[in-house]
Structure 1
Amino acid sequence: MGVAVKVSVVLPAKNEAEGLRRTLPALKQALPEAQIIVVDDGSTDETGTVARGLGATVLGSPYSMGNGAAIKRGARAASGDVLVFMDADGQHDPGHIALLLERIEAGYDMAVGARDGAGQANVGRGLANGLYNRLASWMTGHQVLDLTSGFRAVRAERFREFLHLLPNGFSYPTTSTMAFFRSAYPVAYVPIRVGKRVGTSSHIRPLRDGLRFLLIIFKIATLYSPLKLFIPASAAFFTLGLGYYAYTYSTMGRFTNMSTLLFSAAVIIFLIGLVSEQITGLTFLASRNEPGQRG
């Protein structure tokens, strides 16, 4: 990066004392001039103490607010022109940050570290992420290699435009990526390998978070282009209504209430899609008109 560009690294951390003992020294070696912010998300171990001892700026929270909330707090406090987000559990190699910064220097507003299949937590997560990537690629018209990767570099001014859109939970990567695509901010993907996490197991539980991941799919669609979700649904109801009407007309010679219900549902879903499209457009217009906001 150029000499005038300052980098801030934000690490959300919840009970990641062991991971920080490995990550922070390597991070300081890779980026000795960078501002390092550890957001202690209500940890019950020595996360805050370890981070301070290793020279990081620590933002503490009296209770857990979520990964996305930690990202937002770190982004507000960061002073760098470019923000780098990475996990504190040792999975992300600080040496790969240079690859992300090269993409930023080349003119991209966001550079994402894209994991390979070996970098997924388990087979189930890998399949789910593959589904998210395909859906996001269809919605945006661009190839999305890793929609949920938390290892990314962004231009601070651009990222702060969307702080109010980011959830407090785990899906901040999804929301921020789709927001950048929607606003025509260029996004690059850099293939990386990730290591095994240090310390406790992942905070994500498949059974507990199954519904949340399903909702992410709908959020992807409604955040970027609602009509791409509502038009197929409307067309499906219209086709069902038409088919059922053909059946009842040929067998009973009449138009039934069920056909009326299906046709009505098709119209209603289409109109809801139009309204959602307008709301989405206004939401992003408001974001672009307030570039200095910090969420």
Structure 2
Amino acid sequence: MDFSIVIPAKNEEQGLAIVLPRLRELYPENEILVVDDGSQDATVEVCRAHGVMVVPHPYSKGNGAAIKTGARAATGEYLVFMDADGQHDPADISRLIGELENGYDMVIGARSGIASQASMARWGANTFYNRFASWMVNRRIDDLTSGFRAVKRSRFLNFLYLLPNGFSYPTTSTMAFFRAGYSVGFIPIKVAERIGKSHINLLRDGVRFFLIIFKIGTLYSPLKVYFPLAVLMFGLGLLNYLISSFVSGGARFTNMSTLLMLSGMVVFLIGLLSEQLTNLQYREAEDEH
């Protein structure tokens, strides 16, 4: 099958020195493309030594930006994205491609268990993301944030404008494919310990990952998030009104009751507006395709 392997890399000379020879051995006829995201080490030299195409960024733009650059530069009908740190087994690429041949539009390598995560905190956060996203799409999502995936290039290019330049491109692309009605599959994989230093900062990226939760909602179905919140606020306002009326012995609207009920209505209207804007985004992508 005609596919390109796209690897975003920033200061990953150690990992690439191990990954690239293995990829060349297993897939000698396929395009291997490394997007150098402003590396300060010998990343570029390692790639050239193994005859791999390098697309450089003049400065670091982020993992998502590197993915977008690679998707535009690749020529294969299918794209395989994987990390440069040695965590992903190149032999699993054939399994991903095999599922694409079975009719899927995107196939994701799903990590399982704490041993496959960088830390207990990352495992806990990813578990929460998976369950929340599963509730949003009404289908089990085994790994929302895995960077090891294969996809039809024509489908993926439609959603480049939605992808962030940072680390949450896997989340965005997964939810976008579900929202557009494309077929998304998962296969279990085992990951090795990363080679080199992680670029994840617990405090900075902890806040960033927290914002992913809101992005999941706005990407898929905003009203599914806003409506329960609106009902809760309106219900609290109504409950406050009933309690105040019972205590005072007559119907009485307090400032708190009014504030809560009006806030619930406003949240509902914001969700309704967000839902319509989301529909326009995906309609635009379909028109371009």
In the superposition, the TM-score normalised over structure 1's length comes to: 0.96
Q: 1:42 is matched by which residue type in structure 2? A: G
CA deviations over 1:143-178 (Å, ceiling 9, x no partner): 100000000000000000000000000000000000
Partner of 1:245: 241
Q: 1:16 is matched by which residue type in structure 2? A: E
Between the aligned partners of 2:26 and 2:239, the Cα distance in structure 1 is: 63
The alpha-carbon deviation at position 18 of structure 1 amounts to: 0.6
The alpha-carbon deviation at position 28 of structure 1 amounts to: 1.1
Between the aligned partners of 2:261 and 2:18, the Cα distance in structure 1 is: 60
**Correspondence 1:64 to 2:60:** yes
**Superposition CA RMSD, Å:** 0.7
Between the aligned partners of 1:197 and 1:266, the Cα distance in structure 2 is: 46
CA deviations over 1:12-70 (Å, ceiling 9, x no partner): 00000010000000011121111000000000000011111111100111211000000
Say which SS state the counterpart of residue 288 (structure 2) adopts. coil
Between the aligned partners of 2:243 and 2:71, the Cα distance in structure 1 is: 59
Say which SS state the counterpart of residue 190 (structure 1) adopts. strand
Partner of 1:262: 260
What aligned pairs does 1:267-282 form with structure 2 within 5 A after superposition?
267-282=265-280
The alpha-carbon deviation at position 239 of structure 1 amounts to: 1.1
Structure 2, unaligned runs of 5 or more: none
Partner of 1:122: 119
Partner of 1:196: 193
Between the aligned partners of 1:165 and 1:250, the Cα distance in structure 2 is: 51
**Correspondence 1:148 to 2:131:** no
Partner of 1:165: 162
Q: 1:73 is matched by which residue type in structure 2? A: T
**Correspondence 1:186 to 2:199:** no
Q: Which residue of 206, 211, 215 corresponds with 1:219?
A: 215
In the superposition, the TM-score normalised over structure 2's length comes to: 0.98
Between the aligned partners of 1:7 and 1:33, the Cα distance in structure 2 is: 10
CA deviations over 1:239-259 (Å, ceiling 9, x no partner): 110111011111123211211
CA deviations over 1:115-154 (Å, ceiling 9, x no partner): 1111100000000000000011000011100000000000
Structure 1, unaligned runs of 5 or more: none
Between the aligned partners of 1:30 and 1:134, the Cα distance in structure 2 is: 35
Q: 1:151 is matched by which residue type in structure 2? A: F
Say which SS state the counterpart of residue 80 (structure 1) adopts. coil
The count of corresponding residues between Structure 1 and Structure 2 is 286
Partner of 2:39: 43
Partner of 1:81: 77
